[in-house]
């Protein structure tokens, strides 16, 4: 006899699952040590069923939206029946379901009695993960071993007991003590999730809960199919480019995408994209799938629950050997950052079918990770400088782009550092951090503003790693339907002797002296629609606020002062 499902109870269950993953996230925000986690919030928390299928997640940055399920499924395949109460499993390997080696996942099985009923997991970006370069970003890498310590599924706790030999082996190969503390915090987050889920089992009973979860998957699938059915049938094509593979100057990598909508199903086909590069500008399959899903979810109902039902009507074709699905043992640390060009191709494709849902181009990500020795505290430090890399998003129908939102794979999830905490954590002195005038692409709805950042580096033995895009003219955030592109990125170092060095988009700069001034321009987003259709009062407000110059207002908008 089929169990009758109460839709109200189903909705309550979905919200409770969501709140459990949010409680796990609050645990990480309160207990992690690295500002990458507790300020920038570069992590995801989730619950998965006994087969590794997503029950619910809270993605504090969107690129991690589907970064845990493939790894959870790999853990299950690897350990089989050798999973027990009290086990804790670590994983980061991009060639067995991971999305980036710095993004380390902790998995904890949930047992009710002797039966495995679910999994709880936390994944966060670690300040260091071994490899040749402190911090994990190595533009000189030509294979995975030069990037990071690979951690395929391994138990760090077995039946409730810490495996000190395994623990010591892993952390002996990681430079920063803070990483060890952050992994402990992730274990704590998983324990919070375990408690919450077991409370649900006790409340509903195991069989009732499993029936509700099956119905929740079906309900979510129905919602997604309805959204796809509203898109006109057809094949829509979009392409974009990533620039400079870190090896050959002037190199370009093409993303070739065909989106086929047939009834209530959609296929994303990346066949024909450029082959994998010899450098680290490659993505593992999971990173590209996450980039695809986060962009697609921006185009449909935002209230759809995040569970396995989302995936059922969606097919991904991503041939192995392209730079979007690189073969072992390729270097792939840049893979998360390829989300920008991937999203560009998806928006361009869907602009033909959903012109009022897509946004113009977002500013391409250009990061700069600084590491060195902090003489104030006699300790090493690493910072990815989330403060300075946040450009603007693209305008869309009915709304300007977001100012200073950052890279699309974080879509506002990565927070800029608090100024005081920035100077406490790093031996840096902040000189300037402000909106960048005339950075936004003009449009009926303009793009979001980028930012300008300057600070003095006071660390010792400092090294900087540039990794990103957006300095080329072609890489500016594109405009849509008559909108204009945003501004370009740039990073410049002014040394104490007066010498100036402009960073390439993928390179290591060693021996940065104390007293160097770091200067970064993060570009704005593209505009949407004809700028001449922008209401005059909005142009006047931007001029009055100093974010659009009078010259640019006259040139782009036909603005005339009263």
Q: At what angle do helices 69-79 and 285-297 cross, to 10 degrees?
A: 140
- Give the whole-angstrom CA distance, residue 87 versus residue 172: 22
Q: Confidence class of residue 154 from pLDDT cuts 50, 70 and 90?
A: very high
Average pLDDT over residues 331-344: 93
End-to-end CA distance of the chain: 76
Average pLDDT over residues 84-99: 96
pLDDT tops 70 at residue 269: yes
Q: Give the strands of the sheet with 252-262, arranged side by side.
A: 234-243, 252-262, 265-269, 314-317
pLDDT at 134: 87
**Count of residues for the chain?**
562
pLDDT (tens digit, 9 = 90+) per residue, 280-328? 999 999 999 999 998 999 999 988 999 999 999 999 999 999 999 999 9
Average pLDDT over residues 409-418: 70
Return the SS3 of 66.
coil
* Six token digits for residue 233: 């049938």
Show the CA angle centred on residue 68, arms to residues 308 and 145, nearest 5°: 145
pLDDT at 559: 82
Task: Give how far Cα 60 sits from Cα of 41, 123, 174, 397, 429, Å.
Answer: 6, 10, 25, 26, 28
Domain ranges of the chain: 7-222, 359-562
Average pLDDT over residues 248-277: 97
Task: Label residues 287-298 b or e (16+ Cβ within 10 Å = b).
Answer: bbbbbbbbbbbb
pLDDT at 274: 98
* Closest among 313, 327, 316 to 265, alpha carbons compared: 313
**Strand duo 265-269 + 428-435: pairing:** unpaired
pLDDT tops 80 at residue 66: no
pLDDT at 410: 63
CA atoms within 13 A on the CB side of 315: 12
CB count in 10 Å sphere of residue 314: 16
- The one-character DSSP state at 39 is T
CA dihedral sign, ordered 98, 100, 104, 105:
negative
pLDDT (tens digit, 9 = 90+) per residue, 195-242? 999 999 999 999 999 999 999 999 999 999 999 999 999 999 999 999
Secondary structure of 386-414 in HEC code, one letter for each residue: CCCCCCCCCCECCECCCCCCCCCCCCCCC
Beta strands in 66-182 (DSSP E): 88-91, 103-112, 115-125, 154-158, 161-162
pLDDT at 59: 84
Distant-in-sequence, close-in-space partners of 551: CB < 8 Å, separation ≥ 6? none
* Six token digits for residue 300: 């449909």
* Six token digits for residue 302: 């935002």
The region of weakest confidence among 55-69, 165-179, 354-368, 509-523 is 55-69
Q: Confidence class of residue 5 from pLDDT cuts 50, 70 and 90?
A: low
* Six token digits for residue 343: 């999203």
pLDDT (tens digit, 9 = 90+) per residue, 424-467? 999 999 999 999 999 999 999 999 999 999 999 999 999 999 99
CB count in 10 Å sphere of residue 354: 17
pLDDT tops 80 at residue 413: no
Q: Confidence class of residue 1 from pLDDT cuts 50, 70 and 90?
A: very low
Average pLDDT, rounded, for the chain: 94
Let me know: does 246 contact 218? Beta carbons within 8 Å.
no
Let me know: does 25 contact 60? Beta carbons within 8 Å.
yes
Ranges of H-type helices in 334-460: 339-350, 419-425
Residue with tokens 């580096």: 457
Q: Confidence class of residue 477 from pLDDT cuts 50, 70 and 90?
A: very high
Q: Could you tell me the pTM of the whole model?
A: 0.93
Return the SS3 of 445.
strand
Report the Cα 293 to chain-centroid distance in Å: 12
pLDDT at 412: 59
Report the Cα 366 to chain-centroid distance in Å: 13
């Amino acid at each position: 006899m089929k169990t009758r499902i109460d839709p109200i109870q189903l909705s309550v269950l979905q919200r409770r699952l969501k709140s459990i993953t949010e409680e796990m996230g609050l645990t990480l925000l309160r207990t992690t040590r690295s500002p990458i986690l507790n300020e920038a919030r570069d992590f995801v928390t989730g619950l998965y069923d006994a087969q590794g299928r997503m029950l619910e997640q809270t993605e504090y940055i969107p690129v991690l939206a589907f970064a845990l399920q493939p790894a959870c499924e790999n853990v299950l395949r690897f350990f089989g029946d050798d999973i027990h109460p009290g086990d804790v499993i670590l994983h980061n390997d991009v060639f067995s379901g991971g999305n980036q080696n710095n993004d380390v996942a902790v998995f904890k099985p949930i047992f009710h009695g002797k039966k495995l009923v679910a999994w709880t997991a936390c994944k966060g970006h670690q300040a260091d993960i071994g490899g040749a370069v402190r911090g994990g970003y190595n533009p000189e890498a030509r294979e995975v071993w030069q990037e990071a310590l690979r951690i395929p599924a391994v138990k760090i706790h077995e039946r409730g007991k810490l495996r000190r030999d395994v623990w010591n082996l892993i952390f002996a190969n990681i430079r920063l003590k803070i990483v060890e503390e952050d992994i402990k915090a992730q274990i704590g987050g998983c324990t919070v999730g375990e408690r919450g889920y077991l409370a649900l089992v006790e409340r509903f009973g195991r069989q009732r809960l499993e029936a509700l979860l099956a119905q929740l998957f079906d309900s979510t699938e129905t919602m997604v199919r309805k959204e796809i059915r509203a898109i006109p049938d057809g094949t829509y094509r979009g392409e974009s480019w990533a620039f400079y593979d870190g090896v050959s100057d002037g190199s370009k990598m093409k993303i070739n995408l065909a989106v086929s909508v047939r009834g209530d199903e959609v296929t994303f086909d990346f066949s024909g994209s450029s082959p994998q590069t010899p450098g680290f500008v490659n993505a593992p399959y999971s990173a590209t799938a996450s980039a695809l899903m986060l962009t697609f979810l921006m185009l449909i109902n935002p209230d759809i629950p995040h569970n396995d039902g989302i995936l059922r009507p969606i097919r991904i074709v991503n041939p192995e050997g392209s730079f979007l699905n690189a073969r072992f043992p390729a270097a792939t640390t840049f893979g998360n950052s390829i989300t920008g060009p991937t999203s560009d191709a998806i928006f361009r494709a869907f602009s033909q079918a959903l012109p009022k849902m897509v946004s113009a181009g977002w500013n391409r990500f250009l990061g700069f990770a600084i590491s060195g020795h902090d003489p104030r505290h006699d300790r090493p430090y690493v910072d990815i400088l989330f403060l300075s890399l946040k450009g603007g998003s693209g305008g869309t129908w009915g709304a300007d782009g977001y100012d200073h939102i950052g890279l699309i794979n974080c879509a506002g999830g990565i927070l800029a550092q608090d100024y005081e905490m920035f100077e406490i954590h790093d031996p840096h002195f902040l000189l300037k951090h402000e909106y960048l005038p005339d950075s936004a692409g003009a449009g009926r709805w303009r793009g979001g503003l980028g930012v300008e950042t300057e600070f003095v580096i006071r660390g010792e033995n400092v090294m900087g790693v540039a990794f990103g895009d957006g300095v080329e003219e072609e890489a500016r955030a594109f405009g849509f339907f008559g909108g204009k592109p945003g501004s370009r990125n740039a990073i410049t170092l002014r040394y104490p002797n007066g010498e100036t060095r402009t960073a390439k988009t993928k390179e290591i700069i060693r021996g940065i002296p104390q007293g160097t001034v770091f200067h970064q321009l993060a570009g704005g987003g593209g505009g949407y629609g004809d700028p001449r259709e922008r209401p005059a009062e909005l142009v006047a407000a931007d001029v009055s606020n100093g974010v659009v110059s009078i010259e640019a207002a006259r040139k782009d908008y036909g603005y005339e002062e009263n």
